[in-house]
Amino acid sequence: MRLDAAPGRDAWLTPWLPLVLNRAAVAPVLELGCGSGKDTAILVGAGLRVVAIDISSAWLAKARSVAPEAEFVCQDVRAPFPASVAGYGAVVASLSLHYFNWPDTVALVQRIHASLGQGGLLLCRLNSTRDHNFGASGYPAISEGYFLVGGEPKRFFNREDVASLFAEGWCTLSCRERTINRYVLPKAVWELVVEKDA
């Protein structure tokens, strides 16, 4: 069985859907790095209008099959986001913001902030420094907290990194470090829900 094969439904978004529905009643939700469309299907199933992007056309084909109502765009998350006239009501980024050096990560979070309408939400999950099953140890370091894992750069975040990344312009509604069972092996992540504050 593949390490990234999901044994069951990962319902991390479910408790936040009422708030997302409130904030994205008119403006769409932007999903960064939609992968196979697990979260996309949950969002459209709740009646949300979703614009989902991923760099992989193969993953987008799978996502289309489970959430055909969504709009899909094949691009790098560092490219300009598809425009929303009023700004997005929410951005969802589950395990898609960890591939970049620190300046690029900060710039990406700033672009997410700029893409949201006032009071818009970011719901994201970030690799934790305790995520030893998926690369937080035993791999060559590129820089602190940033490793070459199977030939691919991956960043792992500690509490201070998370606090620094969302220190300005955000109001934190929830921030917790937890172990999830999205994959075959347990994965340690930070789950955050932050609101655009300024």
pLDDT digits (tens, 9 = 90+) for 56-104: 999 999 999 999 999 999 999 999 999 876 799 999 999 999 999 999 9
What does the pLDDT read at residue 150? 93
What does the pLDDT read at residue 98? 95
1-4: which pairs have CB atoms within 8 A and are 24 or more residues apart?
A: 1/184, 2/184, 3/134, 3/183, 3/184, 3/185, 4/183, 4/184
What does the pLDDT read at residue 78? 92
Q: Which CATH superfamily is domain 14-196 in?
A: Vaccinia Virus protein VP39 (3.40.50.150)
User: How far is 105 from 45, CA to CA, in rounded Å?
Assistant: 30
Confidence of residue 9 (pLDDT cuts 50, 70, 90): low
Give which of 31, 36, 77 is closest to 55, Cα–Cα: 77
User: How far is 140 from 24, CA to CA, in rounded Å?
Assistant: 41
Phi, psi of 180 (to 5 degrees): -115, 165
Measured torsion, CA atoms of residues 39, 176, 98, 62, in degrees rounded to the nearest 10: -10
CA-based end-to-end distance of the chain: 45
Domain extents in the chain: 14-196
Average pLDDT, integer, range 132-159? 96
Interval 159-177: pLDDT, tens? 999 999 999 999 999 999 9
User: How far is 153 from 141, CA to CA, in rounded Å?
Assistant: 9
**How, if at all, do strands 146-149 and 141-143 pair?**
antiparallel
What does the pLDDT read at residue 184? 87
- Comparing 25-39, 75-89, 131-145, the range with the smallest average pLDDT is 75-89
Is the whole-model pTM more than 0.85? yes
176 burial (CB, 10 Å; 0-12 / 13-18 / 19+) is: exposed
